Structure 1
Amino acid sequence: MEKKLYRSKKNRILFGVCGGLAEYFNVDPTLVRILFILLLLGSVGTAALLYLLLALVMPEEPEEGGEVSGEETQEE
């Protein structure tokens, strides 16, 4: 199965970028958030711009099970 990078729906605080990175690299989301905060403090705003760009570029995690397409069935 191919691994894809998505914004997380489960591990989200703002846009789910840090949660999505944590799920992709299989690490704790808290560690990713702490590393991002340290990067934010040391980068004079570059990390904030990077976060916003990732929030725009990364697709949101798809629903579990996928979307149902085709005709709907009705029970009588």
Structure 2
Amino acid sequence: MERRLYRSRKNRMLFGVCGGLGEYFNVDPTLVRILFIILLLGSVGTAILLYLLLAIVIPEEPENGGELSGKEAQEE
């Protein structure tokens, strides 16, 4: 089964990027948030641009919890 990266619907503070990354890499989303804060402090604002870019690029988790619907499954 192929894993896909989605923005989380359950573990979200702003856009669900850190929650989605945490779910994808099977780590606590709080650790991902802490890493983003450390990156933010060290990068003089580049982390904000990275976060916003990821929020735009990463699709939101489907309503059915990430499983493919019938039409999407046939296209795979």
Short-chain TM bin = 0.7 to 0.9
Distance in structure 2 (CA, Å) of the matches to 1:66 and 1:17:
20
How many matched pairs? 69
Report percent identity of matched pairs: 79
TM-score, structure 1 as length reference: 0.84
Partner of residue 52, structure 1: 52
Please say if 1:34 is aligned against 2:34: yes
Partner of residue 10, structure 2: 10
Runs of at least 5 residues in structure 2 that lack an aligned partner in the other structure = 71-76
In the TM superposition, structure 1's runs of 4+ consecutive aligned residues that sit over 3 Å from their partners are 65-68
Cα-Cα RMSD: 1.7
Higher helix share: 2
1:55-76, CA deviations, whole angstroms, 9 ceiling, x for partnerless residues? 00100000126669xxxxxxxx
Distance in structure 2 (CA, Å) of the matches to 1:37 and 1:27:
16
Runs of at least 5 residues in structure 1 that lack an aligned partner in the other structure = 69-76
TM-score, structure 2 as length reference: 0.84
1:7-40, CA deviations, whole angstroms, 9 ceiling, x for partnerless residues? 0000000000000000000000000000100000
Q: Looking at CA atoms only, which structure, 1 or 2, has the larger radius of gyration?
A: 1
